[in-house]
């Protein structure tokens, strides 16, 4: 997996939002053509598959404006400036679920939408969970949904699936869990 294209072109700013920048980039392609791309710059994120002591995974049902309703997900959130991905994963787990991880294991990283965005999500599995304080953001409407891993994997054949959740669950299902 290659690194982000930060600094490779001087994009024409289109808009700056709270979490993203949208630019139009002038890009010299490997075939010699020069083209314009509308491009979304994102700070990156981390997502975590929390394993309860009984082997179930702790999914969240969350309202997402972009989907027009609720979806099932693993806890996740964007990286704060200078924040390490594993720190973000631990923070988001605690904020969204009210559980603290005793141990995090890295599963990998994914490009979310490489056709127009440089967002990378770093994926983790969390074990040895202990209760902590859930601290939801004002825009977060979350219900905790403990789910057997097999059922969570079966749900991946649903009509529309969250990509980070699908990838994280598949990777977590392949690891040797304690």
Q: Are residues 81 and 18 in the same domain?
A: no
Alpha-carbon span 107 to 71, nearest angstrom: 22
Q: Are residues 30 and 76 in the same domain?
A: no
* φ, ψ at 170 (rounded to 5°): -65, -45
Q: Where residue 60 sits, what CATH number does that domain have?
A: 3.90.79.10
Alpha-carbon span 26 to 39, nearest angstrom: 10
Look at residue 94 and tell me if it is in a domain.
yes
Alpha-carbon span 2 to 69, nearest angstrom: 34
Q: DSSP letter string over 74-101? A: --EEEPPTT--HHHHHHHHHHHHHSEE-
Tokens of 27: 């890009």
Q: Which domain holds residue 99?
A: 45-173
Q: Are residues 85 and 29 in the same domain?
A: no
Report the domain count for the chain. 2
Q: Are residues 90 and 155 in the same domain?
A: yes
Q: Are residues 32 and 107 in the same domain?
A: no
Look at residue 3 and tell me if it is in a domain.
no
Task: Please identify which residue in the block is written with the tokens 């392949």.
Answer: 174
- As to burial, measured by CB atoms within 10 angstroms (0-12 exposed, 13-18 middle, 19+ buried), residue 37 is middle
Q: Provide the residue-wise pLDDT of the chain in tens; the chain has 178 residues.
A: 445 554 445 677 677 777 888 999 999 999 999 999 899 999 999 999 999 999 999 999 999 999 999 999 999 999 999 999 999 999 999 999 999 999 999 999 999 999 999 999 999 999 999 999 999 989 899 999 999 999 999 999 887 789 999 999 999 999 866 5
β-bridge mates for residue 172, sequence order:
none
SS3 call for 149: helix
Closest CA relative to residue 113, chosen from 42, 161, 169, 64: 42
The secondary structure element, H or E, covering residue 127 is strand 120-127
Look at residue 6 and tell me if it is in a domain.
no
At 47-81, the pLDDT tens digits run 999 999 999 999 999 999 999 999 999 999 999 99
CB contact at 8 A, 118 and 19: no
Q: Are residues 16 and 81 in the same domain?
A: no
pLDDT (0 to 100) of residue 13: 66
At 164-177, the pLDDT tens digits run 999 999 999 998 66
């Amino acid at each position: 997996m290659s690194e982000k294209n930060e600094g490779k072109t001087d994009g024409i700013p289109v808009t700056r939002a709270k979490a993203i920048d949208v630019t139009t980039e002038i890009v010299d392609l490997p075939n010699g053509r020069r083209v314009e791309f509308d491009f979304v710059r994102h700070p990156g994120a981390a997502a975590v598959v929390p394993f309860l002591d009984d082997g179930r995974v702790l999914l969240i049902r969350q309202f997402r404006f972009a989907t027009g309703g609720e979806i099932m997900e693993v806890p996740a959130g964007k990286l704060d400036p200078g924040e390490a991905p594993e720190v973000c994963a631990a923070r988001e787990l605690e904020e969204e679920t009210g559980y603290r991880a005793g141990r995090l294991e890295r599963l990998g990283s994914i490009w979310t939408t490489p056709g127009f965005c440089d967002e990378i999500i770093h994926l983790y599995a969390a074990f040895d969970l202990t209760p902590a304080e859930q601290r939801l953001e004002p825009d977060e409407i979350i219900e905790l949904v403990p789910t057997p891993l097999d059922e969570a994997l079966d749900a991946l054949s649903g009509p529309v699936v969250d990509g980070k959740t699908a990838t994280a669950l598949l990777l977590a299902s392949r690891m040797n869990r304690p």
